[in-house]
Amino acid sequence: MKKYFILLTCLILFATSACANGNSSSKVPDTRGLSDMKIKIEITNDSGSHTLTATLADNSSALAFYELLQKGSITVAMHDYGSFEKVGSLPTSLPRNDTQITTESGDIILYQGNQITIYYDTNSWSFTRLGKVDGVTQTELKKILGKGDVTAVFETGGLKWQLQ
């Protein structure tokens, strides 16, 4: 009898944990792998100027990008590619940490070590995640990035971060 009670208890615990891990109708932003490093991005296009903040990823590429920004802001002329991202060239190559990922709106991605992209839709490829734009929906980001070319100024913007 004791064996059946233990078996039944294990089954109930297993079923409860499986239900707790099920899909939810509200999507929670994926913050795995994000650090405490913050940057500011000033987007300028035909519709005006918009200021965004982003949280950088917890990898050597994002750290190298942040250290580069500490030396001064970086202005990148970005154009639309594939109707899912804005892409432009960085002035220098950064270390790569490529993994197969599916991007989401707001992802900031390093491509081939010297291209930076801001995604407003999904794409799957082997990329290096640099970070994620904070607190902007896909609809808002599409409106901010617009249909044509944009200029993006990346900077630390006085946002401080230190190794602990």
Predicted confidence at residue 161, as pLDDT, reads: 41
Using CA atoms, how far residue 136 sits from 14, 92, 101, 104, 120, in Å, is: 37, 28, 21, 12, 10
Residue 103 pLDDT level (bands cut at 50, 70, 90) = very high
User: Is a pLDDT exceeding 60 seen at residue 10?
Assistant: no
**How big is the chain, counted in residues?**
164
Mean pLDDT (whole number) for 70-82: 96
Tokens of 160: 């401080």
pLDDT digits (tens, 9 = 90+) for 29-69: 444 456 789 999 999 998 899 999 999 999 999 999 999 99
pLDDT at 2 over 90: no
pLDDT at 17 over 50: no
Phi and psi, residue 2, nearest 5°: -60, -35
What's this model's pTM, rounded to 2 decimal places?
0.76
HSE-up of 146 (CA within 13 Å, CB side)?
15
Task: Read off the pLDDT of residues 19-40 as tens digits, 9 standing for 90 and up.
Answer: 443 433 333 344 445 678 999 9
- In this structure, are residues 56 and 154 in contact, taking their beta carbons and an 8 Å threshold? no
Which amino acid appears at position 10 of this protein? Answer: C
The rounded distance, in Å, linking the Cα atoms of 11 and 108 is 43
Secondary structure letter of residue 83 according to DSSP: T
Quote the pLDDT of residue 21.
39
